[in-house]
Amino acid sequence: MSRYYEVSVTPVGAAAPVKSWSSEFFGVFDPQAQNVIFDLLAYDYATPMGASTISIEGVTIADIGQAKNYTGMTLAIKGGMKKGLPLANPKQAGTLLTGQVFQSFGNWEGTNMTLDFVILASPYTYDTPGNFVLNWKKGTAISGPLSSMFAGAFGPETPVIINVSPNRVLAVDQISHYHSLEQAARAIVGMTKGQFGPTDPGVILSIRGDGTLMATDYTQASNPVQIAFNDFVGQPVWIAPYEIQVKLVMRADLSVPTLIKMPQGAKNAPGIVTTNPASLPSYSDQNAIFSGNFFVRSVRHIGNFRSPQGESWVTVVNAVSAGEILE
């Protein structure tokens, strides 16, 4: 088995989890591991997609009896592929999501016991508001105000990465208070979108799988992550002008706003059987129908650990053409 997962639930402020589940036992695949089913989301907070969910099957009666106690704790889930299948890449495995348990409940139906979690990467909502203060003075770059806003809402210990142009300034002071990251993200996009031209998306706020707070406007150079031809589960498709959707074997190394590079093709790659154009007129040379660089706009990890289908352990990425944003 190449699929891998690890789920841990830790009380706020505690050093060790109170409960964990894994597909491995001391680093070796565990054939008795519980089945996990999850739908995990990472996105631009100006256009939120909702909460992430995890269901763990085969738990004990003690687990479902204390399910409510997990609410408010920190849940982290790792996933991807480990050694096993020939094309599996263990280097792509890692943390898929870190967040707060918003809801937790158990269920017992027949002989099946399940423990379900609803997770929010950002714990702040209108019911439990945060303290997001943006103090952006005219003529100054937005990087400093963003750092202060993140530190005030999430604490100075939370990791932050800000990749925003130093020319991203306003002509007037902007001092605002927001209750949630979604509200702050929508307001900041409204202030910054179109400053550098009609295709400028403005400043995007997101949270990486490991809990790192991200801010980007896609103007700062970065090394693209090369997507291999055998990473695909099916072909990429257009879903909007200049935006594609790519389904990949589950991996943890992609997030908003990762720059990805599409493959040129797979000719002569191991495992690829080629033929002669004369014998097969529709021969396409095993080329992907997309090429070039794309910025990730949203990520969705979909997993059903014990399902035999390949599409039951995937990462779905929406990405927009880098040339369109940066031109």
Residue 150: which CATH number? 3.55.50
Residue 12 CB partners (closer than 8 Å, separation 6+): 72, 73, 74
Task: Based on the fold, state whether residues 112 and 46 are members of the same structural domain.
Answer: yes
Task: Based on the fold, state whether residues 83 and 23 are members of the same structural domain.
Answer: yes
Please say whether the beta carbons of 96 and 74 come within 8 A: no
Q: What single letter denotes the amino acid at residue 244?
A: I
CATH no. for residue 255? 2.40.30
Q: Establish if 127 belongs to a structural domain.
A: no
* pLDDT for residue 271: 45
Q: Establish if 263 belongs to a structural domain.
A: yes
Kindly give the residue spans of alpha helices, DSSP state H, lying in 108-212. Answer: 143-154, 181-192
Task: Based on the fold, state whether residues 89 and 175 are members of the same structural domain.
Answer: no
Angle at 252 (CA atoms; ends 250, 257), nearest 5 degrees: 115
Q: Establish if 194 belongs to a structural domain.
A: yes
* pLDDT for residue 286: 54
Task: Based on the fold, state whether residues 9 and 53 are members of the same structural domain.
Answer: yes
Cα–Cα distance, 53 to 40 (Å, whole number): 6
Task: Based on the fold, state whether residues 144 and 114 are members of the same structural domain.
Answer: no
Q: Establish if 114 belongs to a structural domain.
A: yes
Q: Which residues partner with 97 through β-bridges?
A: 77
* pLDDT for residue 235: 87
Q: Pick from 69, 90, 120: which residue ends a domain?
A: 120
* pLDDT for residue 1: 61
Task: Based on the fold, state whether residues 203 and 252 are members of the same structural domain.
Answer: no
Q: Establish if 125 belongs to a structural domain.
A: no
Task: Based on the fold, state whether residues 98 and 143 are members of the same structural domain.
Answer: no
Residue 57 CB partners (closer than 8 Å, separation 6+): 34, 35, 36, 37, 112, 113, 114
Q: Establish if 126 belongs to a structural domain.
A: no
Task: Based on the fold, state whether residues 112 and 171 are members of the same structural domain.
Answer: no
Q: Establish if 36 belongs to a structural domain.
A: yes
Task: Based on the fold, state whether residues 210 and 234 are members of the same structural domain.
Answer: no
What is the residue range of 17's domain? 3-120
- Give the count of alpha carbons within 13 A of 182, CB side only: 15
CA distances (Å), 214 to each of 86, 142, 177, 203, in order?
34, 13, 19, 10
Task: Based on the fold, state whether residues 270 and 317 are members of the same structural domain.
Answer: yes
Please say whether the beta carbons of 263 and 226 come within 8 A: yes
Tally of structural domains, the chain: 3
What does the longest C-alpha to C-alpha distance in the chain come to?
A: 69
**pLDDT tens over the chain, length 327 residues:** 689 999 999 999 899 999 999 999 888 999 999 999 999 999 999 998 999 999 999 999 999 988 999 999 999 999 999 988 788 899 999 999 999 999 999 999 888 999 999 999 999 988 899 999 999 999 999 999 999 999 999 999 999 999 999 999 999 999 999 999 999 999 999 999 999 988 899 999 999 999 999 999 998 777 899 999 889 998 899 999 889 999 999 999 999 999 999 987 555 554 444 445 554 444 445 555 677 899 999 999 999 999 999 999 999 999 999 877 765
Long-range pairs of 290-293 with CB within 8 A, sequence gap ≥ 24: 290/236, 290/244, 290/262, 291/262, 291/263, 291/264, 292/261, 292/262, 292/321, 292/322, 292/323, 293/224, 293/259, 293/260, 293/261, 293/262, 293/321, 293/322, 293/323
Task: Based on the fold, state whether residues 274 and 174 are members of the same structural domain.
Answer: no
Q: Pick from 73, 89, 120: which residue ends a domain?
A: 120
Nearest to 79 by CA among 117, 37, 48, 44: 37
Task: Based on the fold, state whether residues 230 and 209 are members of the same structural domain.
Answer: no
Q: Pick from 120, 147, 181: which residue ends a domain?
A: 120
